[in-house]
Structure 1
Amino acid sequence: MNNNLNYRHELKFFINYHQYFIIRQRLKDLMEQDKHVGPSGEYHIRSLYFDDINNKALHEKLGGIRDRVKYRIRIYNGQDHVIHFEKKIKFKDYIAKVKEPLTREMYDKLMDGDYDVLRGPDKPLLNEIHNEMKHHLLRPKVIVDYVREPYVYANGNVRITFDKELRTGLHAVNIFDEKVEPVRALDNDLIILEVKYDEYIPAFIRIALQLEGLNRQSASKYVICRKHLKFNTWEDY
């Protein structure tokens, strides 16, 4: 484990809308809404996930490998003023994330195949990604699209999110392409509940969630969307 990273617990559950309304009502009295939400209490996330020529990230997840990484570019509400290239690290039962900002110009060059735009001093993550692109043919694979309703609580650094309307861009890989019309990748009645925290969850939040009665799941949004792509377009892993 890299001790310089902030490793956190991450639990994921499938819930239906009935469960969502009950849990949300409880949490509203206990937690604050994330400061980045809009008037609806939500924001839109679109990510572009990358994988190498052997689909390593996909196969490691499907194979149950506990220690693994994923790379993605993420934007919010369809805007280009905040663009991050992220590396998500899974170590045993913990997760960590490191990220570097991209400019829209850097993103456009990258999508045109100019991977050298990532090279530069004091940017270890971008240099790492450049090396992955050069030596392992890391490339864009799938767009993952959803609406997030987030709640936070300072003690324990708890973050609880309801991720709704999970969609995939199928073969599209340009997250700023206005012609992209993502399609549903998950049953209309299902929401992904994510619970993230550092060392502990305060007891009153744990009681409100009643996690033991929920359907714990391990499939990532990336895997769900890649599977949807495979089943709808005969993609070969």
Structure 2
Amino acid sequence: MKFRHELKYYINHHQYQIISRQLKHLLKRDKNADASGEYHIRSLYFDDIDNKALHEKLGGVLEREKYRMRIYNFSDKVIHLEKKIKKNDFISKVKERLTRETADAVLAGNYEVLNVPEKPLLYEAYREMKTRMLRPKVIVDYIREAYVSYAGNVRITFDKNLKTGMNSVDIFNRDLSTIHAYDNNFIVFEVKYDEYLPEYIRTAIQTEGLIRQSNSKYVICRKFLKFNSWEDQ
């Protein structure tokens, strides 16, 4: 399992305009972006009966993990079950593609569809659902603008318009009722890279003086929902 550096910041729109203008001349756009250079991400996060992922983040635990189901642009063409592992400022992610049928079964509470020992991530999630009552907790929506560089395997993202779904696991519902999760003046700015961050990119993004983000999108959105919304599913 390979770990990468991950740095997160809050930036305002003025800072975004400055940094994004620099990056447009230096890096390539994410291949998944539309004509505007953006795409929509929706994730359904899971947590266990003790809200372990939530409390470990709030408690500052240095090594932690969380599970989510993710789609793009409200489409079911690409559905992933993902596990994100965090160690200090390093991250790793494993994922497995799901069919719409499997995703719908999970959302309906039929976790047996993940009982597939030959697919380790699915089987691991299944065991967590059976033994730790891993359940859907909150939907997280945002618009992403992303840039990539092969040098250093760098990925830089601006996540905008963060919203949370209101008491629903209907991840495929384009008309899902959502609310803003924080002041819309802020943008989440993330920098991910492997062994090194090229100096020309470091200079362009001007991270000195920026505010490091301590809360994850999952934690930010959970504050709008009761902890036990779906505990009994």
Does the alignment reach a TM-score above 0.5? Answer: yes
Q: 1:181-192 counterparts in 2 under 5 A?
A: 181-192=177-188
Divergent runs of 4+, >4 A: none
Q: 1:126-137 counterparts in 2 under 5 A?
A: 126-137=122-133
1:170 and 2:166 aligned = yes
1:159 and 2:155 aligned = yes
> For residue 200 of structure 1, what is the amino acid of its counterpart?
Y
> For residue 138 of structure 1, what is the amino acid of its counterpart?
L
SS at match of 2:26: coil
Provide the C-alpha distance between the structure 2 equivalents of 1:61 and 1:181, rounded to a whole number of angstroms: 26
| CA positional deviation for 1:234 | 10
Instruction: Kindly provide the CA deviation profile for residues 151-210 of structure 1, in whole angstroms up to 9, marking residues without a partner as x.
Output: 001010000000000000021111012441211001010000000000111101101111
| CA positional deviation for 1:109 | 1.0
Query: Which range is displaced more, 37-46 or 112-121?
Result: 112-121
Query: TM-score of the superposition, structure 2-length normalised?
Result: 0.95
Unaligned runs of 5+ in 1: none
> For residue 27 of structure 1, what is the amino acid of its counterpart?
L
SS at match of 2:151: coil
- Which of 11, 16, 19 is the equivalent residue of 1:20? 16
> For residue 60 of structure 1, what is the amino acid of its counterpart?
E
SS at match of 1:69: strand
SS at match of 2:91: strand
SS at match of 2:118: coil
> For residue 69 of structure 1, what is the amino acid of its counterpart?
E
Report the counterpart of residue 225 of structure 2 in structure 1: 229
Report the counterpart of residue 201 of structure 2 in structure 1: 205
Q: 1:38-49 counterparts in 2 under 5 A?
A: 38-49=34-45
Aligned Cα RMSD in Å?
A: 1.5
Report the counterpart of residue 57 of structure 1 in structure 2: 53
Provide the C-alpha distance between the structure 2 equivalents of 1:186 and 1:24, rounded to a whole number of angstroms: 22
Q: 1:66-77 counterparts in 2 under 5 A?
A: 66-77=62-73
Unaligned runs of 5+ in 2: none
- 2:166, 2:177 within 8 Å by CA — same for their partners in 1? no
Report the counterpart of residue 107 of structure 1 in structure 2: 103
Query: TM-score of the superposition, structure 1-length normalised?
Result: 0.94
1:96 and 2:92 aligned = yes
Provide the C-alpha distance between the structure 2 equivalents of 1:167 and 1:93, rounded to a whole number of angstroms: 25
> For residue 222 of structure 1, what is the amino acid of its counterpart?
Y
State the identity as a percent. Answer: 62
Provide the C-alpha distance between the structure 2 equivalents of 1:178 and 1:88, rounded to a whole number of angstroms: 25
> For residue 195 of structure 1, what is the amino acid of its counterpart?
V
Query: Which range is displaced more, 176-185 or 48-57?
Result: 176-185
